Structure formats: structure tokens, C-alpha cells
Amino acid sequence: MEERFAPSGTRERNLAMELVRVTEAAALSAGRWMGKGNKEMVDQAAVDAMRNALDGVDMNGVVVIGEGEKDEAPMLYIGEQVGNGNGPEVDVAVDPVDGTRLLSLGLPGSLAVVATSERGTMYSAPPGVYYMEKIAVGPAGRNVIDINAPIAVNLDRIARARDARIDDLTVVILDRPRHQEIIRQVREVGARIRLIGDGDVAAAIQAAMEDYRGVDMLLGIGGAPEAVLAAAALKCLGGEIQCKIWPRNEQEREKLKADGVDLDQVFRTDDLVSGDEVCFAATGISSGELLDGVQYHGWGARTSSIMMRSRSGTVRYIQARHRWRKPGFDQR
């Protein structure tokens, strides 16, 4: 476990490491429902396990990104107090299963995700905001992208920043009908495309990781809560995400305008997560390109996780064994 000494000489605990235990608990519980076709039970198992695990974390947390309003979600609702109250005051963003549909169908790429930042530093979308237009890149592209620029311009800038050609680049896009025009434009300039069914948090992380060169950019429209979680990870990785609120229809557009929401505002990484003490953790549930999924055995299970801290820039991959019983112990 990484440790540092505070000015007083007392040892400071690594909150990110404690968050890994939270995502591990959610993954171990939800993974039992892989491929069984029940999205509700997938989500319920993860929420229950994550909420219970959060009780043991040394923090005084408030859920900013969660399962919805209190009257919609009995646990992990927005505004809920989490943690044991003994640690730092933090905002908490959770996604007990990023890729619920994927997991319920037995498809790859689902994750359990938690992030924290200092209290009051995470963006909470206004009521009625569900989706955002997004572009995400790694450190090499962070100072050259512009969500308002044409796709061809952004791809050319990233290629130049990487000393590469546009047809060397790979863009990851959610496979949705709304992205047909984006896909057409990317193809027109010659970049490669990887379509994914769900899980744009993992895709944004992959686009930002310097040691993972399978993806160079995330493009498209996805969930607003996932944008904040991705921003927390990219803050640790030195990448950049830019977003704009995306109304699903004209009625929603007019409602947001009437509520004073600026649909032209560009949200950058620091607008979504402005803190300097950001921690991020994720555990694979069904195996994907970022992380392996949970593997169950008679003696226990194996999990694969990633944890990050913005202060140090540390990224750790954690392979864990969880034993239900000790080796050589005969239960008979």
C-alpha cells in the first residue's frame, strides 16, 4: 500500500486502496449474475455489496453521482452519506455496474467503479440532464482537442501530436443509431473505428492510457454520470475529456433552456472534477480489454482491479485472491 507522511508526521492512508476493496465487493457479488439475463438482480447485487463495503471506508463522503434521487433509490442515492465518518470530507461518484446490460447477457467489459474528490469538487448535473456529447484523449492530445471543432480537425491534431498519420488512429464509439453521422465522418478521414456496446467509462480510460495504445480517442454521446467518472480517471492519468449537454429530443431541449441550462457550455476535465485529491478504483466483473472479470473457484475467487491517484499520478493494477476458506481446510 502506498503511504505518505502528512506535515504533522502522521501517516496518511491511501483512500484509493480502500476504494478497491469496495469495487471488489461489488464485482464479486454482481458477477454471480453474469449471463443470467436479469439486469435488476445484477444491479441490486452490486449496489448492496458496494453500499455495505463503503461503510468501512475511512471517509466522510456524500454521493454526488449515484443511483438516482432518494425516492428512486433506497441506497447509493444522490446526497446519501457514506463512509464511517472518520476520514476526509469527499464527494463520491459510484457506478456499481458500468455495463449492466453487458453483464446480464454475459458480454465482456462490465466494471464496478468508484471515485472520490474533495467535498464540493464534483459536477452534479441539473435535473433532466441525462446525456452528454463527449471527446476524450490521453496526455498527448489534451491541449489540442476542441469539442466544437470538426472531427477531421481533431483527428488531424491528435495525429500531429503523436507524430502519426490519421489512419494510425483508432476511435472508440458506442454502437448507437445516433452515432451514424460521427461514424461516417471518422471513416471519411480514414481513422479506424472500434464500436462498443456499452461501457464508455472503460473506453475513456483506455483512450487516456499512455501504456495502452489500442484506442486514441473516445467520441460520441453517453451518460452524464459516466462523464464525471471518466473525468476522475482522466484527472489521474493526465488526459482530457470535453463534454456538452445533449438533449434527447426537442421537448427536452426546450425544457432545459427554460430551466436556464446553457447547452453551448463546454465542460472540461476540471469542470467535471476540480479537486486535486482525486482517487479512482475499478474492478472487472465480466472480462474486457481493460480488466479481467471475476473468476470463481471452490476455494474462492480472483479479481482484477485498477486504482489511481491524481496527486501522485500512480496507477496500480491489482490481482487479488479472495479465499472463502483457507488452503487445506476440510469443511466435512
Instruction: Give me the residue spans of the domains in the chain.
Output: 13-118+275-321, 129-270
Ordered alpha helix ranges (H), 190-223: 200-208
What is the 3-state composition of the chain as percent helix, strand, coil, each rounded to the nearest 5?
A: 30, 25, 40
pLDDT confidence of residue 71: 61
Is residue 249 pLDDT above 60, yes or no?
Answer: yes
State how far the Cα of 70 lies from the Cα of 43, in Å rounded to an integer.
16
Binding residues for substrate, as ranges, are 98-100, 131, 176-178, 198-200, 223
State how far the Cα of 121 lies from the Cα of 108, in Å rounded to an integer.
32
* Over residues 14-36, mean pLDDT: 95
pLDDT band at 324 (very low <50, low <70, confident <90, very high): confident
> What is the residue-averaged pLDDT of the chain?
91
pLDDT confidence of residue 133: 97
Looking at 71-216, which runs of residues are DSSP E strands? 81-82, 89-98, 111-118, 131-137, 170-174, 192-196
CATH architecture of the region 13-118+275-321 = 2-Layer Sandwich (3.30)
Looking at 175-299, which runs of residues are DSSP E strands? 192-196, 217-223, 240-245, 279-284, 295-296
- Provide the CATH topology of domain 129-270: D-Maltodextrin-Binding Protein; domain 2 (3.40.190)
**pTM (2 decimals)?**
0.90
* Over residues 191-203, mean pLDDT: 93
pLDDT band at 5 (very low <50, low <70, confident <90, very high): very low
Tell me if 207 sits within 8 A of 232, measured CB to CB: no
Q: Which residue has the higher pLDDT, 276 or 6?
A: 276
* Cell 455489496, located at residue: 49
pLDDT digits (tens, 9 = 90+) for 89-137: 999 999 999 999 999 999 999 999 999 999 999 999 888 889 999 999 9
What is the percent of the chain where pLDDT is above 70? 92
pLDDT digits (tens, 9 = 90+) for 257-299: 999 999 999 999 999 999 999 999 999 999 998 999 999 998 9
Mean pLDDT lowest for which of 10-14, 229-233, 243-247?
Answer: 10-14
Binding residues, as ranges, are 43, 67, 95, 98-100, 131, 176-178, 198-200, 223, 226
pLDDT confidence of residue 332: 44
Q: Taking Cα atoms as reference points, which of 259, 215, 261 lies closest to residue 239? A: 215
Binding residues for Mn(2+), as ranges, are 43, 67, 95, 98, 226
State how far the Cα of 317 lies from the Cα of 323, in Å rounded to an integer.
19
Tell me if 236 sits within 8 A of 140, measured CB to CB: no
CATH topology agreement for domains 13-118+275-321 and 129-270 = no
pLDDT confidence of residue 74: 82
Residues 6+ apart with CB under 8 A from 217: 135, 136, 137, 141, 145, 154, 155, 158, 169, 170, 171, 172, 207
Is residue 47 pLDDT above 90, yes or no?
Answer: yes
Is residue 1 pLDDT above 50, yes or no?
Answer: no
